Structure 1
Amino acid sequence: MGPRRSAASSRGRLLLPLLLLGVSGFFQSYAVEVDIKDASNATCLYANWMMRFLITYESNNGDYKTTTLNLSSSATHNGSVCGNDTQAALVAVQFGEGHSWSINITKNNETYQGDFMTLTYNTNDTAVFPDAKRKGPVTIFIKDPAGPVQLNTVFVCHNSFVIEAENITQIFWNVTVQAFVQNGTVSKKETRCPADRPTSAPTVPPTSANATTAPTTAAPPAPTPPKPVENPDTGNYSLKSGNKTCFLATVGLQLNVSQDKPLLININPKTTVADGACGNTTATLKLNDGNSTLIGFTFAVKNASASVQKFYLREVNVTLLNHLNGSVISSADNNNLSKWDAFLGSSYMCRKEQTLQINENVQVHTFNLWIQPFLVEANKFATAEECLADSDLNFLIPIAVGVALGFLIILVFISYIIGRRKSRTGYQSV
């Protein structure tokens, strides 16, 4: 039988808040430390981490909005247990107005591993969900993608990483966890997450032996000119409602961020995950590239009560996250757009590059765009309405062909006239 558990057998305390500074405002999140004790008052499970959630929900008017849910300063950890060979360990946290999060951790021979996470958020919390259509608690189960960790080893991840499921984006950073702690002492041995592992060999610092071998008259190497950023690869993205595809998008995306210096970022479709929600009058596509870039596109229907309806791009939001601590480097939103409009039941296409101005510091460039946010049938794009830039190109091609044919007809006619004149001259009497 495993050690007895009680509310007094575990200890949790909140650390100093971390203030995350973004372009459009401040986000506040708290680090939580949970130290679970067994019956002998020895540590059997230790966890220290920071996290927050991006949640997409339906508002009273049928629109879909994305809100941020952070840990609060009054978080508790009731129900957390140590676990043993036959029982899973559990880290459980309760915070805010009826929100909770937990993770089951199972033991298997010489390793332990997270099994699944459970998030319950309460849309009755009007501060976070001010106009939610659905009221009450909503529970989401998320499979933990992390691999097994050796016993008597602590799992550490300082850099941020993202786990997505349904309409939830979970962001974690500064994570330290050890389940099934042995002898009541957290181990000194660490297993690092992939985000913390170096991607290149470290630079060898100069030593006293080689620092003086370089001649003092050697000229510095010529600076390497910056490599131009190529156009981004085109990605294919889709959303489903049940078993039916409800949103189709093909697009290459590039961000232009102007802060201390201009920065061009190509969104890599191979590492980008699509999420979002489909509705009758609004639809949202969220793209997460490499756990550091979040882009959201919101479409709406114009004149929903009219007999002839069109859809358009209404809002774009962009968030750049710091790999080191998960903080917001840049956050921009433009909810007053009127782009990419087409008749409902059609798709919108624009092969030419387009620029969406999000704010004075952030632009989104699109390439080879083909999108349909409503009324997708048989998992295929409907007939496309092309942008003006593409239409001009298609219009100029037949004009150029027509002009060329006109010149050819004129040349044939002139040649014919000249030939007739020469023929008449050859048959005149002497």
Structure 2
Amino acid sequence: MVCFRLSPVPSSGLILFCLVLGAVQSYALELNLTDSGKATCLYAKWQMNFTIYYATTSNTTESVTISDLGTVTYNGSTCGDDENGPRIAVQFRSGFSWTANFTKAASTYSIDSISFSYNTSDNTTFPDAKDKGVVTFHDRVAVRIPLNEIFRCNSLSTLEDHDVVQNYWNVLVQAFVPNGTVSTKEYLCDKDNTSTTVSPIIHTTVPSPTTIPTPKEKPEIGNYSVSNGNGTCLLATMGLQLNITQDKVSSVININPSTTDFTGSCHSQTALLRLNSSTIKHLDFVFAMKNENRFYLKGVDISMYLANGSVFSIANNNLSYWDAPLGSSYMCNKEQTVSVSGAFQINTFDLRVQPFNVKEGKYSTAEECSADSDLNFLIPVAVGVALGFLIIVVFISYMIGRRKSRTGYQSV
């Protein structure tokens, strides 16, 4: 844990910020905000990431996932006063800012609203952006929590606008802390509060029960492509099966190519294939170059409606699958699993992709996956073993027959 002790600021006193480095896909933040008397007035700990979609000068849509916040500052965070409620303000990377505002009623307090801003003038984060400038989104949250209780929500919560998907999880927050002591009584969000108990729960090493999905048949194989001004620039052929776990319930969903639309974009270093349907808001496959001579699947981003009406969203831009030399395609006929997160995996069947250097709209020579290579190696070995066994049988039969012939001659 890295702590930053800042000098006193007006109306909020001494502020102590503790930053906890989280997993690759997220950035865990912990904040203990104190007033002028050095008493805690607000405590928060949470994880978040963002996926932003923007238009390019070539009239395509690109996406960028912000999971590593980099260097973080907290200018503008305050305990609040008689006129304004507490506020958490976070600044990170180049031109990004995030703010959460709190309000108070007679017996409750609220996470009232969340604001998120970014600057598309940053060419490193938003290459080839068509519109330059600061973009800000305001979302009303209005989560009401009883006073003197701390709010907890370990489940994934998503705020989604047209161009931005905000993901939050492992949230723990209490505003208006009485007497500087953070409460031990928790108020759970609806997703966490899936069951009620009368007696205390004793945690053991036995895992929580999870609904096991009914096995699905093999999905239909779909053919997808992306074109630019020079013709087809990306090809993909694959059967896709989505494995999703949310609120301890697992589901398996086969993608039907006949009811699935596809778009995308191609650039010198990256390529994007986007699938969408009536239930899938977007399923993005992001490809990138490696060492200027290979390509690989770098990221997957999904947002879709589940059967219960909830929205499932997750993104991971730190993958490393489907690696092959530039100028070739990647092929794997056997079933493969792309593990996007603990809650989301994709099974692929009869896969073949080529996101760069497509010529005349056709696949180039394929680089086979290890599973297929092992199969191709085993086939001639098996044939050789069978032939060897046949030769041995023939030889033994010949020797037995010859011995019988000798025995007959001796008797004469």
Q: What is the TM-score of this pair, normalised by structure 2? A: 0.51
Instruction: Quote the Cα distance in structure 1 between the aligned partners of 2:55 and 2:130.
Output: 6
Residue among 89, 92, 107 paired with 2:89: 92
2:241 maps to a residue whose letter is L
TM-fit CA distance, 1:140: 1.0
- Name the structure 2 match of 1:196: 192
**In 2, Cα distance between equivalents of 1:45 and 1:34:** 8
**2:10 aligns to what?**
5
Taking a change above 3 Å as real, the CA distance of residues 227 and 12 of structure 1, as seen in their structure-2 partners, is: closer
- 1:126: which partner in 2? 123
Cα 1:317–1:39 change in 2 (3 A) is closer
1:130-179 CA-partner distances (Å, limit 9, x unpaired): 22122222111112153x00011111112222111221110111111111
CA distance in 2, matches of 1:358, 1:117: 42
Q: How does 1:289-328 map to 2 (within 5 A)?
A: 295-296=282-283, 319=302
Q: Does 1:151 align with 2:147?
A: yes
SS in 2 for 1:132: coil
Runs of at least 5 residues in structure 1 that lack an aligned partner in the other structure: 21-26, 206-224, 233-252, 269-276, 299-315, 335-356, 366-430
Alignment-derived partner of residue 396 in structure 2: none
SS across alignment from 1:9: strand
Give the Cα separation in 2 of the matches to 1:327 and 1:285. 15
Q: How far, CA to CA, are the matches of 2:99 and 2:278 in structure 1?
A: 24
- Per-residue CA deviations over 1:236-259 (Å, capped at 9, x if unaligned) read xxxxxxxxxxxxxxxxx983459x
Say if 2:67 is the partner of 1:70.
yes
Shift of 1:74: 1.7
Equivalent residue, structure 2, for 1:24: none
Do the aligned residues in 2 keep the contact of 1:317 with 1:358 (CA within 8 Å)?
no
- How far apart in 2 are the matches of 1:95 and 1:226? 40
> Which structure would you say has the larger Rg?
1
- Percent sequence identity over aligned pairs: 32
Question: Equivalents in 1 of 2:98, 2:213: separation in Å?
Answer: 46
Which one scores higher on RCO, CA 8 angstroms, separation ≥ 6? Answer: 1
Within a 5 Å distance, the mapping from 1:26-425 to structure 2 comes to 27=25, 29-84=26-81, 86-144=83-141, 146=143, 148-199=144-195, 227=214, 229=216, 255-256=241-242, 265-266=252-253, 295-296=282-283, 319=302, 361=338, 362=346
Contact 2:115/2:136 (<8 A) preserved: yes
Distance 1:164 1:288 in 2: 17
Q: Secondary structure at the match of 2:22?
A: strand
Structure 1 contact 229–264 (Cα < 8 Å) conserved: no
* Distance (Å, rounded) in 2 between the aligned partners of 1:74 and 1:226: 42
109 and 287 in structure 1: CA distance in 2 versus 1, 3 angstrom threshold: farther
Tell me how far 1:7 sits from its aligned partner: 7.4
Unaligned runs of 5+ in 2: 1-7, 203-211, 220-238, 245-249, 256-262, 266-271, 286-298, 305-310, 323-333, 339-345, 350-412
| Contact 1:88-1:107 at 8 Å conserved across structures | yes
- Does the residue aligned with 1:124 lie in a helix, a strand or coil? coil
> Which secondary structure state, in structure 1, belongs to the residue aligned with residue 191 of structure 2?
helix
CA contact (8 A) 1:85 1:107 kept: no
Shift of 1:102: 0.2
One-letter code of the match for 2:181?
T
Instruction: Name the CA distance, whole Å, in 1 between partners of 2:85 and 2:278.
Output: 32
Is 2:215–2:252's contact at 8 Å kept on the other side of the alignment?
Answer: no
Secondary structure, counterpart of 2:170 in structure 1: strand
Question: 2:22 is matched with which residue?
Answer: 18
1:170 partner SS = strand
Q: Is the 8 A contact 2:87 2:100 kept in 1?
A: yes
Deviation, 1:58, is 0.8
